[in-house]
Structure 1
């Protein structure tokens, strides 16, 4: 009796490769836990009984007016105003993840659209859109943000708009290069010979073949957007206090050198930024290896050559 051969789909094989990557799995677990903490920020505030803006002037400050270190009541200590750092970190995670994901998705949609049109049509359209991407990349970010804040004032929508404006060009360049190679493939030429329109070819023939780079680069754009938002908030150009933001928390710790007496004000927001960006980058690498097995084989072969070369 012949054994039954089970055919695995590409999705199942991708998931198997992704789950076999231990670093990527750890990064994914951390991102899930961080998202749960961000979504459950209200529950954390209710459990501790501490609002993110509540100032505990008696229990949250020492008799000399300094923040109290981590304790049973304040697990991550308090800041210079007597506010619970743990609760503010949870609410800051909500803002950072929301901006990171929303800005990355919006920038990805714009970049995919521009790159798809530029790569497919070519000619003067490609030249105009290419120069547009060069123009956006040449604009000084901080100078632009300072000018906008001077006119409109710092706000969350303004930070989101600035991050999107300066982020879509990376995706646009990647997609344009992929489309340039795909539009001359046999399946595209066959669709064109059968009378398919330009929009139909771009959406039904070319776009599905761009799934891997879109997923990978969108994932890797999230940590960049988070760092972008934290930098703007640190410089006072992003989230308006007292709304908690990881960059704003670091800026408040830097004021009057309060971090010299309260190390936890720098440690916990800094670690949150570090592990979040690191996890998204590791997850992006894991997705690249899972969606493109050739890159994984290249890594394995490189390791084997290195091992052979260093063997006694």
Structure 2
């Protein structure tokens, strides 16, 4: 949910190594082996084969946190990420996998569950246009059994009975494209934490007789205010909390997501092409493009001091 999102950071997840499962006799993967650990990542993140889409869905709530006042539930959230994995070859590291994706999260009215178009900011009483999270692309770097620094890839997680748990935290602190050129001196950097906790059914994820796996995932994001909220530097943060799982197809998504995607975001019915080389988008880069385009159309100048 981003942000990093939003899931599926998202943002923000494990990468994968090539599978020969379709050609081999079914076996149980060994998490202590780098090649098998990466295969587990592929089975969790992607579809059954190169280029086959996989869809993650999550549903949750969005809160404010401001010092000196109770937390407020601002929105309900419904999100999805559609992705695929493709095989890549590296002359030194061998065969690996790359994940490409796009993701959406809709802000819904907490009372009606309807998609919000306008929102009245309770701190400023200003009514603003809602910009839903719609990041295209959200791609990841290729991963291999040998990491870029020469170390061996290792699975991070633990097994408890029938479940394998795989937590992943992504602390984010980087240049904010909406702020100025002096962020190292006066602040303004984008500061957030994306947290993903996956739960795998051990038999499904480790046994290659199953073409792929369908994990459960929880997602938490702690971040700055969304730019479209026009908070004007007010102290406070947003807390996103959601749970979801990997679906078998786009058609399993809730109607509110399918309807909105078909109406306003038709590209999100399918993942990007496997060779997609575009830079990743975030809420902040998308919002900046929207503001710049509107200013170019209207001739509006950025407000500066005199």
Give the alignment's TM-score, normalised by structure 1: 0.22
Greater helix share, structure number: 1
Greater strand share, structure number: 2
